[in-house]
Amino acid sequence: MGRVSEEAPSQVRLVRLDLEAERIDPIPGVAPGTRLWLEVSRRGQVVGVAEGVMGPDGLPETTLSLLREEYSKSAVADLHAVADDSLPPISVVIPTIYRRVEQLHRTVSSVAGCDYPTFEIVVVDNRVEPGEPIPPFAESTRVTVVEERTPGISAARNTGVRAARHAIIAFTDDDVEVDREWLRAIGVAFAADPALGVIGGMVRPREIDTRAQLWFEEYLGGFTKSFEYRQWSREEVGASDPLFPYSAGHFGSGNNIAMRRAVFEQIGGFDESLGVGTPAKSAEDHKMFVDALLAGNTAAYVPSALVRHSHRRTEREFLSQIFGYSVGLTALYTALIAQDRRHLWEIARRVPLGVRMFFFSPQGRHREARATYPSVTNVVLIAGMLYGPVAFARSRLSRRRLLTSGARAPYRR
């Protein structure tokens, strides 16, 4: 992948801006003239992102006034619309290979600190080779640790659901911190709409300290493309979303999704041939959404369900992540075609539009004249997409060997 840089500092700073604040004072370490990405929030919920420049006395009042004018009427969810005794209990599943130990503990601590009446946390130890047991968490009364030695985040999530006790299952990863209202946003969404089967939430960067973290936001627009509630079903979406249901990333990311156990059982869980830890590298979350929608369920994007992700910090990690996502994308389409050959035509006829939207449309992303990601990124992306079908074949073969050997039982698939 060429020369690998260290954790070079980002050229922008991420600043969280509460619209109710009277002013934004100078930020220590942020010099006047520094380019800012302003994460605008209203009533504690993120409603948009804008750009600005730090002035000598803080954020210029003119910028603050313009942002108030633009976002002061942005819709926010009423997270107390449902009484606590009417909120469904939730099980939170967190897979880990226990490499990012401090981050895992931050994740568990943030989930345990959620403002929610009834929930449990299931941590799935997905190390292939047994190591030292994961020590008890400070929040041990809420946390159960289970083991799954089959490699892959899908196998870990499926095992986590087996161990979970509740009818609503939320999933996150060991490199995020969840908002204090995260579970409440999920619970309110499901309680308010009994027809809702699966949701994805908002994922914002925890920080943009390094150049590679900036590149992730510039190139992909991060994990989140929208700040407004949206709902999908097979019957309701037509010409308004021509890529539906194959538009990866529209519905949510695996580090912030939740679903009813009944839907999980209906679709047979996560596809264990996809996801981190398999040759296919990713896209198990997107296939879950596609499977759920095509099975007749309703999905929603719930922006009030907020988590913050720690993006990879180096050039090597950034390019590896882009490669993994692009491998997963075409592995996903290969998996769908292998599942039902009718997907072949549906996917093929959407390819030209998908290519135009990804490479030439800036909507939902930070692709602009000042973008700084390396030119090799597109090469890495295309290489990954070409490799995806091969990766899926390797992954499927590996899984069949496990099933044949009796090392793992199939999860209703």
Given a cut of 60, whether residue 5 has pLDDT beyond it is no
- Give the model's confidence band at 369: pLDDT under 50 very low, under 70 low, under 90 confident, else very high: very low
Split at pLDDT 50, 70, 90, the class of 94 is: very high
The pLDDT of residue 84 is above 80: yes
| Span 22-66, pLDDT tens digits | 666 667 778 889 999 899 999 999 999 998 888 888 888 888 889
The secondary element (H helix, E strand) that includes residue 63 is helix 61-71
Give the per-residue pLDDT at 235: 80
Mean pLDDT of 158-174: 97
Look at residue 363 in the predicted model and tell me its pLDDT: 47
pLDDT surpasses 90 at 243: no
DSSP H helical segments within 234-375, as ranges? 261-267, 284-294, 315-339, 343-348, 351-360
CB 12 within 8 A of CB 36: yes
CA-based R_g, the chain, Å: 21
Q: What pLDDT score does 412 carry?
A: 45
The pLDDT value recorded for residue 59 is 81
- Nearest Cα neighbor of 50 from 71, 29, 76, 24 is 71
Query: Who has greater pLDDT, 234 or 169?
Result: 169
Domains and CATH numbers, the chain: 12-71 (no CATH), 84-329 (3.90.550.10)
Which has the higher per-residue pLDDT, 402 or 105?
105
Q: What is the mean pLDDT of residues 113-131?
A: 94
Note the pLDDT of residue 106: 95
Which DSSP string do the residues of 2-44 spell out, in sequence order? Answer: ------PBPSEEEEEEETT-S--PPPTT--TT-EEEEEEEETT
> 145-157, pLDDT tens digit by residue?
999 999 999 999 9
Does the pLDDT at position 367 exceed 50?
Answer: no
Residue 371 is predicted with a pLDDT of 74
Nearest CA to 109 among 67, 73, 138?
138
Write down the pTM of the prediction. Answer: 0.92
Is residue 182's pLDDT more than 60? yes
Statement: residue 380 has pLDDT above 50: yes
Distance CA 270, CA 268 (A): 7
Which residues are CB-contacts of 48 (< 8 A; sequence separation ≥ 6)?
40, 70, 71, 74, 227
Q: What is the model's pLDDT at position 409?
A: 58
DSSP letters of 91-141? EEEEEE-SSSHHHHHHHHHHHHT---SSEEEEEEE--SS--SPPPPPTTTT
C-beta neighbour count of 149 within 10 angstroms:
15
Under 8 Å between Cβ of 162 and 104: no
Question: Which of 73-82, 217-226, 252-261, 306-315 shows the lowest per-residue confidence on average (mean pLDDT)?
Answer: 217-226
Helix or strand run (H / E) with residue 385: helix 376-405
Give the separation between CA 299 and CA 89, rounded to whole angstroms. 20
> SS3 helix, strand, coil % of the chain, rounded to 5?
35, 20, 45
> What confidence score (pLDDT) does residue 361 get?
59
In the numeric block, which tokens belong to residue 157? 């999530």
Interval 131-155 mean pLDDT: 91
Give, for 399, the enclosing helix (H) or strand (E): helix 376-405
Q: What percent of the chain has pLDDT over 70?
A: 91
For the segment 123-142, the average pLDDT, to the nearest whole number, is: 89
Burial (CB < 10 A; 0-12, 13-18, 19+), residue 80, is exposed
pLDDT tens, position by position, 293-348: 999 999 999 999 999 999 999 999 999 999 999 999 999 999 999 999 999 998 89
Pair 297, 263: CB distance under 8 Å: yes
